[in-house]
Amino acid sequence: MPSNRTRLIAGNWKMNNDVPAAKELASALVEKVSADNGVEVVVCPPTIDLACTSHKIEGSAIKLGAQNVYWEASGAYTGETSCAMLKSVDAAYCIIGHSERRDYFHETDADENKKARALIAAGITPIFCCGESLETREAGEHVAFVTAQIRAGLDGVEIDSADQLVIAYEPIWAIGTGKTATAADAQEVCGAIRATLAEIYGEELAGGIRVLYGGSAKPENIAGFLAEEDVDGALVGGASLKADDFAAMVEKAGE
Ligand code: PEP
């Protein structure tokens, strides 16, 4: 990676691990994940596990991320979690715009925009997910689709420094399917994302924003993605549930 962007490996546990299992996985990660190999490491447990995971990783190099947030500050929003609540457990990151949220819970670009604004105002870095369906890719419209998601989701979203925003490119057809994009596929879209970020934020800020790849990333294939110029890390689903695999990916990202 010919840039000075710090690589970032983030684990998305999705709806896995009850409180005892989260504590066990967090403890195993603290033991196994390299503390100082120059890679930033984030785990994103389910909301119910945020507090216990925060406690377990305290004092380690691992940072905490959430999987979702609501943009209002407080009030009658049953089932939702505010930015201040995430701050209270020391969450530094929050995934937004994941394709599962967009597909199963009908979240729109406008929703992701409000979440991004609220998180940045609260000092939490959004991990803004984008990605195309197989149908869109086969129609050759993947770059246009993803860059439109970026423009809409980040419309009017202001940042002063590159570390206030992370993008994760996750082709939907590669998530949880075992099918990975090729490294060249990932670079094509991640490069287009960075060019779009440059139009929005200017070359300098865009040059510092981390763009991750996600979709069946594992220890065996991560190095190929990371060798690409505009891929600065990975958002990892399935493989983040196994401490050995996740630690191995962090290790490879540090090489
Ligand atoms: C994800 O859902 O963010 C993801 C990348 O999942 P997986 O690694 O299991 O494909």
Strands 62-66 and 40-44: parallel
To test ligand 1's pocket by mutation, which of 175, 240, 245 has the most ligand atoms within 8 angstroms of CB? 175
The H or E element that residue 72 is part of is none
**Per-residue pLDDT tens digits of the chain, which is 255 residues long:** 457 899 999 999 999 999 999 999 999 999 999 888 999 999 999 999 999 999 999 999 999 999 999 999 999 999 999 999 999 999 999 999 999 999 999 999 999 999 999 999 999 999 999 999 999 999 999 999 999 999 999 999 999 999 999 999 999 999 888 878 999 999 999 999 999 999 999 999 999 999 999 999 999 999 999 999 999 999 999 999 999 999 999 999 999
Mutate to test the pocket of ligand 1, among 216, 231, 240 (most ligand atoms within 8 A of CB): 216
Per residue in 74-95, is it b (16+ CB within 10 Å) or e — as a string?
eeeeeeebbbebbeebebbbbb
Has this prediction a pTM greater than 0.95?
A: yes
Does residue 170 line the site of ligand 1, with CB under 6 A? yes
| Whether the Cβ atoms of residue 42 and residue 63 lie closer than 8 Å to each other | yes
In short, whether 146's Cβ falls inside 6 Å of ligand 1 is no
User: Which ligand 1 atom is nearest residue 129's CA?
Assistant: 3
How many Å lie between the centroid of ligand 1 and the Cα of residue 212?
Answer: 12
Torsion sign across C-alpha atoms 186, 250, 112, 21: positive
Structural domains in the chain, sorted by start: 8-253 (3.20.20.70)
